[in-house]
Amino acid sequence: MTLHKGHKEEFNYIEYFFDSTMSTVLVFLLLTLSPYIFGMEIFKPYRDALSDFRVTDIGFSKIVEPELVLGDTSILIINIYGLKNNQLAWLIKNLSENKPKAIGINKILNQEDSFSDSALASVLAETKNIVLSNELAYNPKTSRFDVILKSDDMFSDQCSSGFTNLLFDKDKRYSTVREFFPYYKIGHSNLLAFPVQIVLYSNPESAKRFLLSNEIPETINWENYRRYASISDFKDIVRTPEILNSARGKIVLLGTYDPENDPNKNPYRLNDKYFTPLNPNYAGRAYPDMYEIDIHANIISMILHENFLYLVPDWLNFIISFIFCYLTMMLYIFIKKKIDAWYELLTVFIFVILSIIILFITIYSFHVYKIDLQLNVCLLAIAISSPVFEAYFRSVKPITTQFLKNFSGRKNYER
Partner 1 sequence: MKKIRFITVDNIITTLIIIVFLKFLPGFYNIDWLDPVQNFIQDLEINDIFFSHIRNQNNIQRDTNVILVNISFLNRKLIAEEINILNKYQPKAIGIDIFFRREFSDDMDKPLEDALSKVKNLVLVSNVLNFNDNKKRYENLEKSINKFNRFASSGFANFYIPNLSEDSLSRTTRRFSPKEHVLNFMEPSFPVRLSYIYDSTKTKKFLSRNNETEIINFKRNLSKYYVLDWKELFQKKDSLEFIRNKIILMGFLGPDTAQPFSMDIFFTPMNTQYVGKSHPDMYGVVVHANIISMILEQDFINFIPEDISILMVIFIIYLIMAVFRYLRYRFEELYETLGLFLLIGILVFYLFSSIYMMKWFNFSIELKLLIFVIIVTEIVSESYHGSLKPLSILGYQRFIKPFFDKFRKVRK
63 contacts: CB under 8 Å, gap ≥ 6: 363, 367
* Preceding amide of 217 cis, omega within 30: yes
Bridging pattern class, strands 189-192 and 183-186: antiparallel
DSSP line for 372-410:
E--THHHHHHHHHHHHHHHHIIIIIHHHHHHHHHHHHHH
Nearest CB to partner 1, comparing residues 233 and 272: 272
Which of 65, 316, 35, 298 is CA-nearest to residue 178?
A: 298
3-state secondary structure of 232: strand
Q: Measured from the CB atom, is 139 or 402 closer to partner 1?
A: 402
Is residue 176 a contact residue for partner 1 (CB under 8 A)? yes
Residue 88 C-beta: closest distance to partner 1, Å: 21
Task: Candidates 35, 39, 280, 313: give the one binding partner 1 (CB under 8 A).
Answer: 280
Nearest CA to 94 among 76, 109, 110, 74?
76
* Residues 370 and 221: beta-carbon distance below 8 Å: yes
Dist. CA 361–CA 227, nearest whole Å:
28
286 binds partner 1 (CB under 8 A): yes
Closer residue to partner 1, CB minimum distance, 186 or 286? 286
Which member of 155, 275, 291, 324 binds partner 1 (CB under 8 A)?
A: 275
**DSSP codes of every residue in 4-55:** -TT------HHHHHHHHHHHHHHHHHHHHHHHHHT-SGGGHHHHHHHHH--T
414 binds partner 1 (CB under 8 A): no
Interaction with partner 1 in 372-411: which residues (CB under 8 A)? 386-387, 390-391, 394-396, 398-399
Binding test (CB under 8 A) with partner 1, winner from 114, 189, 240, 271: 271
- Distance between CA atoms of residues 109 and 253, nearest Å: 15
Q: What is the dihedral of CA 81, 86, 87, 91, to 10 degrees?
A: 110
Q: Which of 13, 14, 32, 42 binds partner 1 (CB under 8 A)?
A: 42
Count other Cβ atoms within 10 Å, centred on residue 347. 20
Between 84 and 394, name the residue whose CB sits nearer to partner 1. 394
Nearer to partner 1, 58 or 309 (CB): 58
Among 137, 270, 316, 319, binds partner 1 (CB under 8 A): 270
Q: Please, which residue, 52 or 152, has the CB nearer to partner 1?
A: 52
Judge whether 229 and 76 are in contact, CB under 8 Å.
yes
Does residue 412 bind partner 1 (CB under 8 A)? no
Residues 6+ apart with CB under 8 A from 37: none
Q: How far is the CB of 390 from partner 1 (least distance, A)?
A: 4
Tell me how far, at minimum, the Cβ of 80 lies from partner 1, in Å.
Answer: 17
Q: What are phi and psi of 39, to 5 degrees?
A: -80, -5
> Does residue 35 belong to the site contacting partner 1 (CB under 8 A)?
no
> How many amino acids of this chain bind partner 1 (CB under 8 A)?
52
- 140 vs 284 by CB, closer to partner 1: 284
Of 234 and 343, which has the nearer Cβ to partner 1?
343
Closest contact distance (angstroms) between CB of 44 and partner 1 is 8
Question: By CB under 8 A, which span of 41-49, 96-104, 113-121, 229-237 interacts with partner 1?
Answer: 41-49
Q: Which is nearer to partner 1, 54 or 296 (CB)?
A: 54
Which amino acid, 293?
I
285 binds partner 1 (CB under 8 A): yes
**One of 183, 287, 308, 334 touching partner 1 (CB under 8 A):** 287
Among positions 45-74, residues that touch partner 1 (CB under 8 A) are: 45-46, 48-50, 52-53, 58, 61-63
147: Cβ contacts below 8 Å, ≥ 6 apart? 136, 137, 138, 139
- Count Cβ atoms below 10 Å from residue 379 Cβ, excluding itself: 16
Position 334 contacts partner 1 (CB under 8 A):
no
CA distance linking residue 246 with residue 77, whole number of Å: 11
Residues forming the site for partner 1 (CB under 8 A): 5, 41-42, 45-46, 48-50, 52-53, 58, 61-63, 173-176, 263-264, 267-271, 275, 280-288, 341-348, 386-387, 390-391, 394-396, 398-399
